[in-house]
Each structure stands twice: as structure tokens, then as C-alpha cells.
Structure 1
């Protein structure tokens, strides 16, 4: 019988869930839309400030981990504990929780004790704000050369960090921040006051 995910060490989890990169799947956008509707029903429209498909799966043609990242921004008066319980009761697993200076909660869906399910999601739950991920996504969507460069960077890191997600993420940070800053200059404060 397989160990429960909650009983596994970080090393065991990284072995079970390695870094996998795949060609872009056109189905990612429909996976997102389906999950978005489910989240609206779980969380309640009145609690949601904005919801977006972010990460590499939101950029057509970009090689990516087959994981749909969703940024769910909630209103400041939303009951976070109640919301957390609702998500846990609807198939989401809590990955990390931080509300030191700002709320950052990450949930996942599609991780099983036998490895990845067919559809995998990461849900980034935060208060409404001007998040870098939105700018980086928009910049990659508009600049195919930069998206291709990002894909090559990820491929160059895959073997070294196949079983080290933190190392993989850290190794991409300089590239991401460089183009996020360029995107912020280009787009201004595009997401500062826009709720949708």
C-alpha cells in the first residue's frame, strides 16, 4: 500500500513528482476554464476580486510542466480560514501557507500517492494586488522570442533539477525577474486597480 502524501518527506515527494516538461497542450485553457467555474462555486463570486490562468501553461507554444497555475485573488474581508476549509473539502491539498506580511497560500490538485493524475493544478490564493506573475505572463504571451528563450532555459535546467523543485524554481528567478521588470515598464500599473 502506498504511503499517504502527508507522511512523505520532501525528498520522497520530489522523487514521486519530478520536474516533467512537455510541449504545450491546447487543452490547458479549457482545463483552466473548467476549474475556474468550480472555484467560483466553491469560493463564491462575492469573495473573488480576480482570477487568472498564470504560469507557462497560459502561454501558447511554451514548453511547460503539465500543471495549470491559477492565481485566485480574494477580497480583504474574505474569511480565509473558512475558504481554506472549503477548498480542502473539495479535493484541494494545502501545499504552503503564509500570511506574515501578505497572504500566500498554495493548494494543489492532481497529486496522488501514485504520482501525477491526468490533470494537475496549482492554486495560488492571495489578496488582490499588483502581482508579478500577471506581468510576466502577459510579456511572454506578446513576445514569442522571449517565451522561446524561457523554454530553452527550462529545458537546460530539467535534468539537473529533476528531483529538486526548489532548485529548479530558484534557477529560473533571475530570468523571470528581468522580464517582469521590463513588462512593468511597458505595461505601467496595468493590474493595480483592475478587478475582473
Structure 2
């Protein structure tokens, strides 16, 4: 009998779930819409401020990990424990939880003791805010040449960081921050919550 995911070390998890890059799958959008609907059904609309498909799978034509990233923004007065419980009951596994400096919960679906399932999701839960991921996604959607550069960067990093997710993420940070800064200048405060 093998170990459960919760019994595995970080190294074992990285070995089981290596960095895989695939051509863009047009079904990602549909997978996102189905999950979005299920999240709304699980939580109800009251605490949800905004839900977005983010990450590379949200950019048509961009090579990406075959993972649909979802940013769920909730009301800052919501009951966090209740949200955790409802998402858990809806099949999401809590991977990380931080309250300070900001709420940052990370859930996933599609990770099994045999590796990735056919559909894999990451759900990022935060308070309603002005998040970099939204600006970076929007910039890549408008600037195909930058999306192409980003795809090439990721392909170049894939082998080196195949079994080191943190290293892979860290190696992309400079590129992401460079274009996020430009996007914020170009797009103004398009995601700044109006209180």
C-alpha cells in the first residue's frame, strides 16, 4: 500500500507531479466555466466578489501546465472557516493557508496518488483586491508576442526544474513582474475594488 499524498514529502510530491508543459487545450475554458459554476453552487453568491480564470491556461495559444488556475475573490467579512469547509466538501483539497499579510488559500483538484488526473485545477482564494495575476493575464491576451516569449521561457526552464515546482515558479518571477508592471501602467487600476 503506497503513501497517501498527505504523507509524502515535498520531494516525493514533486517527483509524482513533475512540471509538464502542453499545447493550449481549447477545453480549458469549458473546464473553468464548469468549475466556476460548481464553486458558486458550493459557496453561494453572498461571499463571492469575483471569479477569474488566470494563469497560462487562460491565454489561448500559450503553452502551459495542463492546469486550470482559478482566482476566487471573497468578501473580507466572510467566514473563512466556512469557506474552507464548503470547498473541502465540494472536492477541493486545501494545500496552503495564510492569513497574514493577506488571505491566501490554495486548493487543488486532480492530484491523485497515481499522479495527475485528466483534469487538474488550482484554486486561489483571496480577499477582493487588485491582484497582479489579473493584469499579467490581460497583458498576455493583448500582446501575443510577449505570450510567445513567456512560452519560450517556460520551455527553457522545464527540464531544469522538472521536479522542483518552487524553483520553476521563482525562475519565472522576474519576467512576470516586468510585464505586470507594464500592464498596470497600461491598464490603470482596472481591478482596484471600488469601496
TM above 0.5, one fold? Answer: yes
What band does the TM-score fall into relative to the shorter chain?
Answer: over 0.9
Aligned twin of 1:181: 181
SS at match of 1:126: strand
- Native 8 Å contact 2:19 2:162 kept in 1: yes
Aligned twin of 1:22: 22
Measured in 2, the distance between the counterparts of 1:194 and 1:123 equals: 24
Matched, 1:46 2:50: no
Q: How does 1:144-183 map to 2 (within 5 A)?
A: 144-183=144-183
SS at match of 1:156: helix
Aligned twin of 2:36: 36
Measured in 2, the distance between the counterparts of 1:101 and 1:151 equals: 31
Uncovered stretches (5+) of structure 2, i.e. residues with no partner: none
**Aligned CA-pair RMSD:** 1.0
Aligned twin of 1:109: 109
- Native 8 Å contact 1:2 1:114 kept in 2: no
- Native 8 Å contact 2:128 2:193 kept in 1: no
How many residue pairs are counted as aligned between the two chains?
195
Q: For 1:41-78, what per-residue CA distance to the aligned partner results, in whole angstroms no more than 9, with x for missing partners?
A: 11111110000000000000000000000000000111
SS at match of 1:41: helix
Measured in 2, the distance between the counterparts of 1:162 and 1:146 equals: 23
Q: How does 1:7-156 map to 2 (within 5 A)?
A: 7-156=7-156
SS at match of 1:46: coil
Q: Structure 1-normalised TM-score?
A: 0.98
Rate the CA distance shift 1:70–1:194 in 2: closer, same or farther, 3 A. Answer: farther
Measured in 2, the distance between the counterparts of 1:144 and 1:101 equals: 34
Structure 1 residue 194 displacement after superposition: 6.2
Rate the CA distance shift 1:32–1:194 in 2: closer, same or farther, 3 A. Answer: farther
Measured in 2, the distance between the counterparts of 1:8 and 1:86 equals: 25
